[in-house]
Structure 1
């Protein structure tokens, strides 16, 4: 078996090999970093950060329907009270620990999409996770991920020609299935940049010197040799981690915060990866949910809030879109252990200056449930993925259609880009500071010319739309 076939089959057989806590690169023969691969993704410097809430987050206690009697009837012991919920609308509010999310929502920088799921939902953690990571149908089994297929569409010379920087970074011990392509892994997995570099350097030295210091080294030597030419990115990771610095203090004892702090460092340090994956476990709340979920929400809020503040300190917030996913929601009704069992659809959260802020989709309908008493989905998660690729990374519809096996429709997630004529207030054919000064003079008025969001007033929402147009001019 040759080098490429070995690595291709190895990654298809599972998540891949873990060496010292890190995923080996499964690029096959990768001898060059060529201009084609280097330029394929250079049209945008945008970054997508995906937060996995592992275990199945309870959507009903995250986005609370505090005016719905059916919610309290279904959860007499574990509900969030109307007084506790952080009010977003007259009928809905956030979990009381999500104070930072509430601030982002009020600032017009958070979107909550309700009822995200898929047809014929599977309630197994493992199977439903695979469905979400591969973007397959519930009866379809794929061994490559939606992001892996996306990156393959953007790097036609891969794997013989590698991009200059890793396409994606999974902050964890093993590369996510989402990042596996048809020809191998399309990203790297790491927990600590310095350890990652040390692993690469130590592995290469062992190969060069012919010295294998431990019995396990004999077994690992074959894998190291296969990946000798493919571990291209150690210097980029090291340099970005050394150059980047966190400008806010992240909470200690919070794994998600630690992961996001590393993401912020790598972005600030100049690593040109397009996607970062982080995760938070513990959401399988079959018992004692109020206390457990309260802690999870606090950690989630602290981590995301620190990350956003860090990006703002670096003036990088406009480049980053955050998105949460979870393999399923929880049952509508509480169980006998003051918890909830595996359910179906649940909300997704998006944050960043470019999001179309607000709550999308209808509220959960307790009167329209499946035979097990759980909600039907309103948004197919694959349509959400397709919308993110199209709107955030400007991926064409033809390419999007090649990535997903089912037909996808687009859901507005980002604010629409404005025609120049709508924001070129002085009509000089360009968008610049003079247009901003004219807009500033109209702030607080009801002048139609400057009311970009159409709410009858020139306010902060209009300012965000002007900034978005300026950034994309």
Structure 2
């Protein structure tokens, strides 16, 4: 077997995906200290372009129903209405979190000269670049290079692929595809000794040298095994459950990241979007209850975003790529407010919502309030938003 193929299986760090070979088993992965006072940021990226207008619905605006006669959510379906805005009925538990005062909505988030390509717009959000600039490293990777350069495992990405937001020059995070495929991680001295199988020896040594911090990971999962909460039965919920275990076990990672696909709703949006929002709602509420029960919610800030919103006017049964949309912030001592104005459907930009808040201002706010970090150092020069924390 070629060395390149071994690296695809076991490489970690700035560009690696952890998919441990079946014979390199590992039941327990991850973590660190008993000090839960360190703040943690957790991101859920909604891939495909979430329709913000059907997520937090401006149900008192007649232009909403005029533009969406088929896919609009009726007034009697909207829940937890406040100031002309209400939650999609699939987000009933997020509405409860808002009632608890632990959920903030930042309205009309976007950026100048928006790009409607999924790939390029995701890249802009992940690197915090201007729409005409291209950067090699992610905004979180640049932050971790400075703030967490001495940490063994500063970030954890639970996903099928690496995330550009976490790509760094020095900092080494970890992408995990599936915890359940990891039978064990420990490699004994005897296993590292040469055998009559040089390929196996190579993989053993590569595995041992690549996975720094595995003792901490194992310890964290062991510490958290007696603090279990029931989680909803969907893949996103399972990802959040693993993250919760690592956080409860004291892993010293500052950043956690995962994603949920399925938001490119050009057709049959009403049913498809409802299904995806229900998955999101159930997963987040499971995680929220867990963090509250563990008395960790004040330290953990969960951020939900998408690469763009959808067009205001429906295309018949769905919506096409748009621009601005809402961001959700849960926990972390947020003030439970709606930041910004409700979407202005009478003042559009070529049929799209006009952005009101640059997404990089949200990033600057998170870094400032959670880590006392000046985002100017990583070339995010946007002003911090008042009123979120």
Match of 1:410 among 359, 384, 388: 384
Rounded Cα–Cα distance in structure 1 between residues aligned with 2:304 and 2:121: 15
Aligned equivalent of 1:182 = 169
Match of 1:248 among 210, 225, 229: 229
Please say if 1:119 is aligned against 2:112: yes
**2:89 aligns to what SS in structure 1?**
coil
Aligned equivalent of 1:147 = 140
Please say if 1:20 is aligned against 2:19: yes
Change (3 A) 1:85 1:21: farther
Change (3 A) 1:107 1:293: same
Match of 1:88 among 65, 81, 89: 81
Change (3 A) 1:43 1:97: closer
Aligned equivalent of 1:131 = 124
Aligned-residue offset at 1:44: 5.2
**2:326 aligns to what SS in structure 1?**
strand
Change (3 A) 1:314 1:279: same
Match of 1:360 among 339, 346, 349: 339
Match of 1:273 among 233, 249, 253: 253
Match of 2:362 among 361, 377, 384: 384
Rounded Cα–Cα distance in structure 1 between residues aligned with 2:340 and 2:115: 22
**2:273 aligns to what SS in structure 1?**
helix
Aligned equivalent of 2:372 = 394
Please say if 1:105 is aligned against 2:86: no
Rounded Cα–Cα distance in structure 2 between residues aligned with 1:316 and 1:407: 31
Contact 2:262 2:276 in 1 (8 A): yes
Rounded Cα–Cα distance in structure 1 between residues aligned with 2:20 and 2:132: 32
> Number of matched residues?
367
Query: Mean alpha-carbon deviation: is it higher for 358-367 or for 190-199?
Result: 190-199
Unaligned runs of 5+ in 1: 1-6, 23-37, 416-473
State the TM-score, normalizing by the size of structure 2. Answer: 0.86
| Structure with more contact order per residue of length (Cα contacts < 8 Å, sep ≥ 6) | 2
Aligned equivalent of 1:49 = 42
Match of 2:57 among 50, 64, 67: 64
Change (3 A) 1:274 1:15: closer
Change (3 A) 1:59 1:213: farther
Aligned-residue offset at 1:314: 1.3
Deviations, residues 256-286 of structure 1 (Å, cap 9, x unaligned): 1001111111111111111111211111111
C-alpha RMSD over aligned residues: 2.8
State the TM-score, normalizing by the size of structure 1. Answer: 0.71
Match of 1:171 among 158, 166, 182: 158
1:315-464 correspondence runs (5 A): 315-336=295-316, 338-352=317-331, 354-371=333-350, 373-395=351-373, 397=374, 400-404=375-379, 406-415=380-389
Aligned-residue offset at 1:227: 7.2
Change (3 A) 1:70 1:197: same
Unaligned runs of 5+ in 2: 1-6, 22-31
Change (3 A) 1:201 1:293: farther
Rounded Cα–Cα distance in structure 2 between residues aligned with 1:199 and 1:85: 48
Aligned-residue offset at 1:236: 1.3
Contact 1:15 1:174 in 2 (8 A): no
Change (3 A) 1:211 1:309: farther
Change (3 A) 1:18 1:167: closer
1:201-350 correspondence runs (5 A): 201=187, 208-209=193-194, 221=202, 229-245=209-225, 247-252=228-233, 254-336=234-316, 338-350=317-329
Change (3 A) 1:21 1:120: farther
Rounded Cα–Cα distance in structure 1 between residues aligned with 2:265 and 2:14: 26
Rounded Cα–Cα distance in structure 2 between residues aligned with 1:182 and 1:154: 13
Aligned-residue offset at 1:234: 1.4
Deviations, residues 331-386 of structure 1 (Å, cap 9, x unaligned): 111113x0111110100001115102121101111222222x10111011111101
Rounded Cα–Cα distance in structure 2 between residues aligned with 1:50 and 1:238: 23
Q: Which has the larger radius of gyration?
A: 1
